[in-house]
Structure 1
Amino acid sequence: MRILVIEDELKLAEYLRRGLSEEGYVVDVAHTGIDGLHMATEVDYDLLVLDGMLPGIDGLAVLAALRQSKQTLVLMLTARGQVEDRVRGLQSGADDYLVKPFAFSELVARIQVLLRRAGGARGHGEASSLRMADLEVDLIRRKATRAGQRLDLTAKEFNLLSLLLRRQGEVLSRTELAEQVWDMNFDSETNVVEVAVRRLRSKLDQPFERPLLHTVRGMGYVLEAREP
């Protein structure tokens, strides 16, 4: 799941980026309304955390412009806490409204509820769960099971597995995995991908008879159910 935080307070934006990343989300940040609108228009985010008071164009203007072309989930996060402010935000198209100061745990809970509702309401498009052989991944509840057994995955391991499963049968390079899962430029001296794959494999494959995660020498990794 990918989230865009549009927040001009640098410390708060970094706090949100770090905290949501630790919850397992891929997080991008914009500090102005113009930059945020551009990013939200160009990239398919699962959810936006949108400040109401921004330089350039404010949050309501960003929301109004965004709603002309996209229905991305939007949680407004603002110091404007009067009833009329909340009503205006919701009527402008926000899916939820949280007033500063706020508890981070409440923000995460609200994000989870929005994503869960969106997943349950989908009649088409991206599924809320993915399956292959005896493996099932619930993208909303962030739970993975194999042969009915819960896999105890870290946030990054879950994101890695979800990406591989979305593109099952396709060989993904170390560079692409680093960019998509860790949101980082690939450094050939870094073995973060190999370490994460090794740990994921120990939980996904070693307890079971049939391996699903395969290494393609010199190319990368692929998730597929091969014939025995």
Structure 2
Amino acid sequence: MEDYIVKWVASGVVFWATTFLLVRNLFPNRSFDFCNRIVSTIHASLAVSLASLSVQDWSCPACPLASESSPWQMKTLAVTLSYLIYDLICCLFDNHVSLDNSVHHLVSIVGIGAGLSYKMCGSEMVATLWITEISSPFLHARESLKELGIKDTDLNLVFDILFAVIFSLARMVGGPYLTYVTLTADNPLLIKAMAFGLQLVSAFWFYKIVRMVRYKMGKRITPKRIVTRELKARK
């Protein structure tokens, strides 16, 4: 791995940790998780922007396949790698560790680290970064609204639906395609394994999201049916 990339990753970890401390200072009455989600939203917005600027050919965003990474792609991936390292450590401090999220972080860290070490697969990896982060702001918004007391409201439902739709399209439409082209291209075995692992995690999360949407819609529909029955009974 290039020395300048190592420096970018190290300084990035410091940057994200400092950003968290600043947010924590601005919102002293909010939870650790709430402050961390603000940092995560900043990263997601930055990652999508940098990934978009890193695309070399918008007619084929993942092209050229299995090619040497450009300096801009390397720096973009270094920013996200530093964030993932920070966030994994941050979750340990919060005592809020989930197995699926930890696996996602470890797979992503190993995958991006491998890509930076090989100095290749930049096109595929920034496309993956775009796909995986595009739904993140909506995820963090829906969770943050709960702490703000805006739960089981129309606004909260809007963010639930937006997150579910964007996640499903990105991870279960774009994701499988990107996994396929990564597996079939002349990429190192480790990167292929990490691409497949990330898609498995996405599929598991998709299953959980479907259950969440069914539960939320069920809670909405059931009271309306009860009210309708009561009105009919009165008549």
TM-score (norm 2): 0.26
Higher relative contact order (CA 8 A, sep 6+): 2
Kindly indicate which of the two structures has a greater share of residues assigned to helix: 2
TM-score with structure 1 length normalisation?
Answer: 0.27
